[in-house]
Amino acid sequence: MIEARGLTKRYGDRVAVDDISFTVRPGAVTGFLGPNGAGKSTTMRMILGLARPSAGTVTIDGRRFVDGPSPLTQAGALLDAKGVHPGRSAYHHLAALAATHGIPKRRILEVIDLTGLSAVADRRVGGFSLGMGQRLGIAAALLGDPQVLILDEPVNGLDPEGVRWVRTLARHYAGEGRTVFLSSHLMSEVALTADHVIVIGRGRILADASVAELVGDPKEATRVRTTRPADLAALLGRDGVSISSEAPGVLEITGADAATIAAEAASAGIVLLELTPLASTLEDAYLALTRDEVEYRSDARMAEEATR
Ligand code: ADP
């Protein structure tokens, strides 16, 4: 379990993490989402004792990470997959880490196998692709068989098979009752992998909820395909109903539910080719939450440049 209370990090007069409190529970995958510059990496670095909080505390299973006698078995982390000596082989990188904790060779070979690195274990890490580097970073995180896994953008650079593998791994570890905390900017990936999501923007928590709660609000829109879009739009055109068209013959209707649309279309003899209630996605929920929190909005920046 990871517990942050009043956690704050200031760099000069810039507040990177602003008095946040949250709990990451065992037995679940918790996703950590937010725009660039929101404070995700800074928070993860504070959890691991790589950055010192300006105020507040953060503990892993009740104590500060740096106070633990055996950090690799307490928490495994992937923060920056490039933080590896390029001249070392994957095997020797893991062996050096293992030596600090008396972890046996058997376990090194196990994580090499588990992360699909067997064929390249003797190659210099400097020649690794981004995806292979990520796998090595995950191998290092798993080495101590930790109860807590902290992964910063773990699927970065992985191919679809690798992405699925990370998802299965995260779910497997959570299923064993461990704590899995992973950041990602890939909303669809987090929706598939995480049970719970913490969304952060400009250093503050915007949402701390289950994925089901966040995407629970139906969008209340229905996509309709018909051969007579103009007639259907005229039929339904009344106060409270809004109709937009994204493609020829396709309408997105809010303010009238699917049953009402079907009944009115039938009574007017309008044939419907498709009638789909649209569910809101985690991406919709995320974009709604972070709309005002993005550090640099492309449109805002363009407007600023235009007025210079
Ligand atoms: P994220 O991981 O969500 O993209 P970060 O935690 O990297 O966000 O950054 C949060 C804010 O803190 C940003 O405004 C960033 O510029 C600032 N920041 C991060 N690290 C430092 C540092 N070492 N010195 C100064 N500012 C920093």
What's the pLDDT tens digit per position in 187-244? 778 888 999 999 999 999 999 999 888 876 666 789 999 999 999 999 998 888 999 9
Q: Whose CA is nearest to atom 18 of ligand 1?
A: 16
In terms of domains, do 164 and 74 share one?
yes
In terms of domains, do 175 and 58 share one?
yes
Q: Give domain status of residue 23, yes or no.
A: yes
Residue 81: predicted pLDDT: 65
Q: Whose CA is nearest to atom 21 of ligand 1?
A: 11
Each residue's pLDDT tens digit, 259-296:
999 999 999 999 999 999 887 777 777 887 877 766 54
Q: What is the pTM of this model?
A: 0.79
Does ligand 1 have an atom closer than 6 angstroms to the CB of 150? Answer: no
The residue written with tokens 């300006």 in the block is 54
Last residue of a domain, one of 175, 192, 213: 213
Q: Give domain status of residue 292, yes or no.
A: no
In terms of domains, do 32 and 163 share one?
yes
In terms of domains, do 234 and 166 share one?
no
Measured between alpha carbons, how far is 90 from 126 in angstroms, rounded to an integer?
Answer: 10
Cα–Cα distances (Å) from 213 to 48, 189, 197, in that order, read 29, 17, 10
Distance (Å) from CA 37 to ligand 1 centroid: 5
Q: Give domain status of residue 295, yes or no.
A: no
In terms of domains, do 160 and 228 share one?
no
Distance (Å) from CA 210 to ligand 1 centroid: 26
Q: Whose CA is nearest to atom 24 of ligand 1?
A: 11
Q: Give domain status of residue 285, yes or no.
A: no
Q: Which residues contact 270 (CB under 8 A, 6 or more apart)?
A: 226, 227, 228, 231, 232, 235
* Beta-carbon-side half-sphere exposure of residue 271 (alpha carbons within 13 Å): 2
Check residues 44 and 83 and name the one with the higher pLDDT: 44
Q: Above 90 in pLDDT, residue 136?
A: yes
In terms of domains, do 53 and 197 share one?
yes
In terms of domains, do 59 and 25 share one?
yes
**Total number of domains in the chain:** 2
Boundaries of domain holding 163 = 2-213
In terms of domains, do 26 and 154 share one?
yes
Distance (Å) from CA 300 to ligand 1 centroid: 20
Measured between alpha carbons, how far is 30 from 47 in angstroms, rounded to an integer?
Answer: 15
Q: How crowded is residue 245: how many other Cβ atoms within 10 Å of its Cβ? A: 14
Q: Above 80 in pLDDT, residue 161?
A: yes
Q: Give domain status of residue 64, yes or no.
A: yes
Q: Give domain status of residue 286, yes or no.
A: no
Mean pLDDT over residues 22-37, rounded? 94
Distance (Å) from CA 156 to ligand 1 centroid: 19
Consecutive H or E run containing 58: strand 55-60
Residue 297: predicted pLDDT: 52
Q: Which residues contact 79 (CB under 8 A, 6 or more apart)?
A: 41, 44, 45, 48, 50, 150, 152
Assign residue 93 the CATH number of its domain: 3.40.50.300
Lowest mean pLDDT among 79-93, 141-155, 163-177: 79-93
Q: Whose CA is nearest to atom 6 of ligand 1?
A: 39
DSSP state of 120: G
Consecutive H or E run containing 130: helix 130-142
Q: Give domain status of residue 293, yes or no.
A: no
Retrieve residue 243's tokens. 């109709």
Assign residue 255 the CATH number of its domain: 3.30.70
Q: Give domain status of residue 186, yes or no.
A: yes
Does ligand 1 have an atom closer than 6 angstroms to the CB of 199? Answer: no
Last residue of a domain, one of 163, 197, 213: 213
**Mean pLDDT across the chain:** 88
In terms of domains, do 156 and 84 share one?
yes
Measured between alpha carbons, how far is 207 from 96 in angstroms, rounded to an integer?
Answer: 40
Q: Which residues contact 113 (CB under 8 A, 6 or more apart)?
A: none
Measured between alpha carbons, how far is 286 from 209 in angstroms, rounded to an integer?
Answer: 12
In terms of domains, do 230 and 190 share one?
no
In terms of domains, do 195 and 255 share one?
no
Measured between alpha carbons, how far is 180 from 126 in angstroms, rounded to an integer?
Answer: 29
In terms of domains, do 81 and 114 share one?
yes
